[in-house]
Amino acid sequence: MSPNLHIAFRFLTAKKRAMLMSLSCTVLGVGLFIVTQATTSGFEDFFIKTILGTDGALRVEDKMQDTLRSMHAGGGSDFLISHREGVKYIEGVEEPKLVVSGLSQFANVSGTSAVLRGTVVIRSSFKNESAQVFGIDLDSHLKVSDLQHQIVQGSLAALRESPTGALVGKVLADRLELEVGNSFVLDAQGQLRRYRVSAIYETGVSDIDKTRVYVHLPEARSLLKKPIGVTFIQVNLFDKDRAPADAFQMQEVLKHSARPWQYREKAWLSAFRALSVSSAITVSVFTLIAGLAMFNTLAMIVLEKTKDIAILRSMGYERSDITRIFLWQAGIVLVIGAFAGALVGGAGTFLVSRIPLPINGIFKTETFQVSWNGWHYVEAVVTAAIMVMAASIIPARRAARLEPGDIVRGTAQ
Amino acid sequence: MNPSPSSLLPSPGAGDAGAIALRCTDLHRHLGQGEGRVHVLKGVSFEARRGQVYAIVGPSGCGKSTLLYLLGLLDQPDAGEIAIKGQVMSNNDDHARTAARGAHIGFVFQFHFLMLEFTSLENVMMPMRKLGKLTPAAMTDRAHQLLASVGLGDKTHRLGTQLSGGEQQRVAVARALANEPAIILADEPTGNLDVKNSTMVFDLLTRLARDHGQAVVLVTHNPEIAQRCDAVRPMRDGLFV
């Protein structure tokens, strides 16, 4: 152990009460930072998981057609009249197989599912509701969604075995008083077809659960009278965060609009980000308090140890040694505080994750959602380190500036 | 307990006895500011030889302690020169003066000035650890020998708070000798002790310093102590008289 560290340790342990106060503030600051970030990020992550599990990482939909950008003035002139650049969208994907083939060339694409969507009226023996029918190829769709984990009644096997089977959202099923095995009619502009409930799903997203009915793609084609083409192709990606870049490339290559999840859910994501920043600011106040406590402790030690500083300086300890001795004290509190704070943060996060909190609407959960992310611990420790060390510099430098002659003279007289 | 002569340490500097360890020339020092500014030292010159014990005496406020702190490089003169072992140090930067203090000067202060959270052994080892010339084992050995030589061989692991005033001052003497300095400066080293302890500390200081060939400069109000020194330099109004 270096002499400076040794002296720092003794100075610190001599002021047990003040040191424990600084330590508890640091532990509390780090712990609360971790818990708050874990809960805020937990809900954001869960929301992202939900939206990726329902509508996929991105959707390739309407075909894009470049509009005329310039035209000859006519009359044998070479003069060109410029038009504003623009893109015309043709609804849907006319040739899904070609587009799917093109999408398979993207290394980040992990799955694609062609979906035909249409507005219908669903009629049960109890009442009618407007709904949206989604024609899917079940196996393909399972690769781009969490549908298999969203089934709350019935089974996907029943849908696979029944050409006229359907998956109905829980809210819609409740409204129509439909159970697994019940039949219902879908009415698409006068085209009536009867289906049977193979399973009831629940995503937790109320807009989906109250409107969507999944049927086999050929059935949807017959119902909606669309023998070719699809409404969109849902795409899943290995790296979800690269969706915007991939979407841009897909648009360029496939000439179809592509909307990444970040763009699609921009409003909610912005709200979560604002909440995250807000809570980070709040918990930074706790680490600021830790810094102030450290400042207070060190300032007190400097005042009480002026004689010791004079002794050290008279023995050949330099100003930089005195600064280091006080910074070491802050460092010791920081290291112990960060370690204990991380443990407290981890334990707090675990306990919070057990708190019952039923939420339904934008996602479905029964308990507090937390995120176990190592970066939260790194951020908490770095924030505490900045606060504590910054707060320690002033007393440490003040201690180093003390003139040994002045101290000794003052004490002697 | 008085140390036995056999417990004394080897004296590497003893061979240089008589050589000038410290010299100051025409030192001036003002203290305070504005109207309260006082000319404390008014051109003091002084030299101290190895193996000799010097007493600086005089009434309070005559500038004894100010001179001692200047000689110990704890303070800087407004004018004049201080040379340690022939090297002028008074105008050097803080880094050089601090290094010189660590290597060549040992201090004994009036109010013990032990670091109370540390044991006797740790207090004595502290200057050695900073100088870093010896191995940890050699430092421990030397600290044990020094404490034995001041009669505290059985109290090496006692904290400063667990020692009496006299014992604390004896540890301070041992600590002042830790790096075998050429000069020992003592500011009223017995001023806070009873007669018995005063005598013991003074005897220790002078005997060890003579054996080790160190120049000892002490400031004292005690005429008995002063009379037992090799030279007495009375001061009045910032000058030797």
| B85-144 per-position pLDDT tens digit | 888 887 888 889 999 988 899 988 877 678 888 999 999 999 999 988 899 999 999 999
Domain spans of chain A, in order of start: 3-53+268-409, 110-232
- 8 Å CB contact of A311 and B115: yes
User: Is 80 exceeded by the pLDDT of residue A122?
Assistant: yes
Interface-testing mutation among A2, A12, A314, with chain B (most B C-beta atoms within 10 A): A314
pLDDT range class, residue A58, cuts 50, 70, 90: very high
Q: What is the secondary structure of B137-188 as a DSSP string? A: HHHHHHHHHHHHHTT-TT-TT-BGGGS-HHHHHHHHHHHHTTT--SEEEEES
Predicted confidence band of residue B9 (pLDDT cuts 50, 70, 90): very low
**pLDDT exceeds cutoff 90 at B15:** no
Which tokens is B86 given?
């022939």
Interchain contact A174–B (C-beta under 8 A): no
Report CA torsion sign: B98, B100, B103, B107: negative
Q: pTM score, two decimals?
A: 0.73
The complex scores an ipTM of 0.84
Query: Shortest Cα distance from B228 to chain A (angstroms)?
Result: 23
C-alpha–C-alpha distance, residues A354 and B55, integer Å:
77
Inform me whether the C-beta atom of residue B167 falls under 8 Å from chain A C-beta atoms: no
User: Residue B221 above 90 pLDDT?
Assistant: no
Residues 201-220 of A with CB under 8 A from B: none
Query: Which residues, numbered 319 to 348 in chain A, qualify as contacts with chain B under a Cβ-Cβ cut-off of 8 Å?
Result: 319, 321
Beta strands A183-188 and A80-82 are unpaired
Q: Which residues contact A177 (CB under 8 A, 6 or more apart)?
A: A124, A126, A127
pLDDT tens for residues A296-341? Answer: 888 888 888 888 888 898 888 999 999 999 899 889 989 999 999 9
Closest CA of chain B from A399, distance in Å? 15
Q: Is B41 a residue whose pLDDT tops 70?
A: yes
Chain A residues touching residue B103 (CB < 8 angstroms)? 316
pLDDT of residue A377: 93
| A135, A115 Cβ separation under 8 angstroms | yes
pLDDT at residue A72, as a whole number:
66
Q: Residue A76: what pLDDT?
A: 67
Residue contact A314–B107, C-beta within 8 A: yes
Pairing of strands A212-216, A191-201: unpaired
**CA distances for A112 relative to A43, A150, A238, A261, A265, angstroms:** 27, 19, 12, 15, 20
Q: Quick one: pLDDT at residue B2?
A: 41
Picking from A323, A408, A411 by the largest number of B CB atoms within 10 A of its own CB, the best residue to mutate is A408
Q: Which residues of B touch A412 (CB under 8 A)?
A: 65, 109-111, 187-188
∠ at Cα B148 (B143, B153), nearest 5°? 95
Q: Which residues of B, range 183-202, sit inside 8 Å of A by Cβ? A: 187-188
Residue B5, pLDDT above cutoff 50:
no
Measured CA to CA, the distance from residue B101 to residue B183 in angstroms comes to: 9
pLDDT confidence bin for A411, thresholds 50/70/90 = very low
> Under DSSP, is residue B19 helix (H, G, I), strand (E, B) or coil?
coil
Q: Helices B165-176 and B120-131 sit at what angle, rounded to 10 degrees?
A: 20
pLDDT at B109: 82
**A412/B102 touch (CB, cutoff 8 Å), yes or no:** no
Distance from CA of B119 to the nearest CA of A (A): 11
CB A377 within 8 A of CB A342: yes
